Structure 1
């Protein structure tokens, strides 16, 4: 019998989606599952984006250019200029989501067995992208006690080898909600220049920075023209996860030329989704102001309610819409499955994402979960109450 590849065997499961069969089984049994596991916003997609697709007059749905339509890239450059990021349309390649932008980046800057340093916990799919590219994630650990701030630069330098090609950050962070300061970005800039590395930043949550904080892009830092590669997406910014439109942005034209070859191999990004994404650039600032205020209130409620639960420790998100919670349990994977299979409160339960899958270091995150606060406040409050009652029941049964 033919066998699957070793690469396929080592491809990690998504900690966000691997529990879906258990959630679906619960729903078939009449249980209402409140989803805290996935970053699918409930915020409405801007009408202007939906109308662009609904009212189009295309007679032939053609391929677009491999790098994305020129008009969209020019308008996207204008959007970045409003955010004090000054680049040209030629510095942008449109991709099928931020995921493809990361895949193109790894393919363009790394060879088999090369290494990329990533502060953990990190977006779980980074492990998958690295496995697919045949490269190795080298984690540098950040901790809940420091709210997942950037580890000391000395910890990065200890990990740099001849195989190291880049440092990758997510800013603001998924799954932690941590927002890197300008000073932290400058520290990273100094180390990549010192060791001649790339600095890759996943900046898809740029709009979601709270409490008066400002997002500082790696593309705003002078002297990184050949080092900085930014990954972006419309998914969270405009609540357009299903559009699957992202981009790779860099002033390094050798990277652009190389990434374009990967883009040509997959032909082109989707045409309708580019139309929607281009139209979304007309979304007024009031939309983002309202969304940011809503997420701020959700975060405040979530943190306040979690802090009431004995034994729970939480990070305080400064951006994005996630937080890590440390629970008084030994195995969050078992607990998450138990929630879906065995626990009910008034016919409801919650689905969470075990955090071990957001780490590369074995053993870390086993008692942590990631929560996405993308639900209305009433649902969030109800979900935390279910979590509280579940922990009481679970820890009591474990003690017996």
Structure 2
């Protein structure tokens, strides 16, 4: 029988989605499952975006330009200007989600065997994108003890080799909710300039910054124009995960020109979704103000409830809508599966994402889970009640 590729064999399973069959089986048995495993907001998509699709007058659903329509890119640039990010429409390539933007970025700056340094834990699909590109992830460990703050710059420098091409961060972070300070971005800027590396920043959670903290983009840092590559998406900002529209942004014309060749190879981003995303840019600030207020309340509720459970440690996020919780279990993967297969509290259980899949280093995060606080507050309280009961019943 023909063999599949080594790359295919090495492609990691998603720690977020691999437990879906167990959740579906639990539902078939009549159990209610609270989904804390995936960053699918329950916030309503802006009506203006939905109306753009409902009320369109297209007669032919045609290709758009490979880099996305000029009208949409112009409006994106205007959005960035309002956020003190001075870019032009031709610094932007529209992609099929932030995932494609990351693939284009990695494909544009690395060759097989090259290395990218990433603070871990990190968005699990970075492992998959690296595998698909033949790139090695070199992790630098951040720790729950200090809320997953940026590791010392000396730790990055120890890892830089002739094969290193970039440092990749997620700001605010998935899965930690950590928000990088302006000072930390400046430290990273200094090291990439010193060693002639790219700095890729996944900023899809930019709007979700809490406690009066401001988000500082790599695109705002002076002198980083030839080094910075920003990844963005409409998925979380407008609760439009299904639109699959993102973008890659850089003032480095060679990066954008190279990424455009990847964009041309896949023809174009989806036309309907671009229409919805362009319309979404007219969403009033009041929408975001209400969303931020809701997520802050959800975060505070979740963290307060988790801290009541003996043996549980939780890092308090300053952004995004995730947190990492350390549980008194030896194997969170087994525990998460057990929750769905064997446990329920009055017909209800929870689904979490085992955190080991958010690390590249083997053996780290085995007792941690990522929790997405994308449910209403009363459901979060109930979910933690279920978790507490489950921990009391579980024998690792």
In the TM superposition, what are the counterparts of 1:45-56 in structure 2 within 5 Å?
A: 45-56=45-56
Output the CA distance in 2 between the equivalents of 1:11 and 1:191: 30
Partners of 1:391 and 1:142 in 2: CA distance: 26
SS of aligned partner of 2:201: strand
Q: Distance in 1 between matches of 2:197 and 2:101?
A: 18
Q: Secondary structure at the match of 1:103?
A: helix
1:97-246 to structure 2, matched below 5 A, reads: 97-246=97-246
Distance, in Å, in 1 between the alignment partners of 2:192 and 2:172 is 20
C-alpha separation in 2, matches of 1:128 and 1:43: 28
**CA–CA separation in structure 2 for the residues paired with 1:293 and 1:368:** 27
- d(CA) in 1 for partners of 2:89, 2:183: 28
The alpha-carbon deviation at position 92 of structure 1 amounts to 0.0
Count of paired positions? 396
Distance 2:30 2:312 in 1: 30
SS at 1:77 equivalent: helix
Residue in 2 aligned with 1:313?
A: 313
Q: Which residue of 1 aligns with 2:343?
A: 343
**Length-normalised TM-score, structure 2:** 1.00
CA distance in 1, matches of 2:86, 2:223: 14
SS in 2 for 1:216: coil
Per-residue deviation, residues 110-153 of structure 1 (Å, max 9, x unmatched): 00010000000000000000000000000000000000000000
- Structure 1 distance, partners of 2:134, 2:254, is 22
Give runs of aligned pairs for residues 287-302 of structure 1, distance below 5 A.
287-302=287-302
Alpha-carbon distance in 2 for matches of 1:140, 1:339: 31
2:156 and 2:210 mapped to 1: Cα distance? 28
Runs of 4+ in 1 over 6 A off after TM superposition: none
Q: CA deviation at 1:386?
A: 0.1
Question: Secondary structure at the residue paired with 1:287?
Answer: helix
Report the secondary structure of 2:346's partner residue. coil
Q: How many angstroms does 1:303 deviate by?
A: 0.3
RMSD: 0.4
**SS of equivalent to 1:204:** coil
Equivalent residue, structure 2, for 1:271? 271
1:340-374 deviations in whole A, cap 9, x for unaligned? 00001010000000000000000000000000000
Q: Deviations over 1:30-72 (max 9, x none)?
A: 0101000000000000000000000000000000000000000
Q: Secondary structure at the match of 1:118?
A: strand
Indicate the SS of the match to 2:169.
strand
Q: CA deviation at 1:24?
A: 0.5
Q: What TM-score results when the alignment is normalised by the length of structure 1?
A: 0.99
**Aligned to 2:301, what secondary structure does the other structure show?**
helix
- Give the deviation of 1:3 after TM superposition: 1.1
Q: Using the TM superposition, give the Cα deviation of residue 168 of structure 1 relative to its aligned residue in structure 2, in angstroms.
A: 0.1
Give the aligned partner of residue 79 of structure 1. 79
| Equivalent-residue separation in structure 2 for 1:113 and 1:42 (angstroms) | 40
**Partner of 1:6 in structure 2?**
6
Give the match's secondary structure for 1:374: coil
Helix, strand or coil at the partner of 1:384: helix
Note the residue ranges of structure 1 that are not aligned, 5 or more in a row. none
Distance in 2, matches of 1:393 and 1:256, equals: 54
Partner of 2:57: helix, strand, or coil? coil
The aligned residue for residue 17 of structure 1 is 17
Q: 1: distance between equivalents of 2:162 and 2:3?
A: 34
2 CA distance for matches of 1:136 and 1:109? 13
